[in-house]
């Protein structure tokens, strides 16, 4: 996983939590996104972000503060800030994660 491109939209504590805390795969996950539950990732900005292009593996964080790893059927644009991106080599592992499974992120 690589931090950014919008990690500056989050508190330093949010980036630390993403990298140090375990995340649990939510039953609401699907081919569009791997929804994760865990500590809330707080934003440092209250502004809205314009939609922008999204790559597979982008980790978007909606207002709930719980990250979503975008997978195979993700949209082409998004409006939530992207705190990090899962490296391409690890995307198949993310896509195979099952509800209830614990995952962790490691900075590349």
DSSP notation for the chain = -EE-SSGGGB-HHHHHHHHHS-EEE-TT--SSEEEEESS---BS--S----EE--TTEEE--TT---EEE-TT--SEE-S-EEEE--GGGHHHHHT--TT-EE-----
Q: Can you list the domains of the chain with their CATH numbers?
A: 2-103 (2.40.100.10)
Question: Global pTM?
Answer: 0.93
pLDDT digits (tens, 9 = 90+) for 27-37: 999 999 999 99
Q: What is the pLDDT of residues 50-73, one digit of tens each?
A: 888 899 999 999 999 999 999 999
């Amino acid at each position: 996983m690589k931090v950014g491109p919008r990690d500056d939209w989050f508190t330093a504590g949010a980036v630390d939590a993403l990298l140090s805390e375990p995340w649990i795969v939510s039953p609401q996950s699907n081919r569009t996104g791997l929804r994760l539950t865990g500590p809330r990732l707080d934003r440092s900005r209250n502004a809205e972000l314009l939609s922008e292009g999204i790559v597979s593996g982008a980790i978007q964080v909606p207002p709930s503060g719980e990250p979503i790893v975008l997978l195979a059927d993700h949209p082409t644009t998004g409006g939530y800030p992207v705190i990090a991106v899962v490296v391409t080599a690890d995307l198949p592992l993310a896509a195979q994660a099952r509800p209830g499974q614990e995952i962790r992120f490691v900075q590349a």
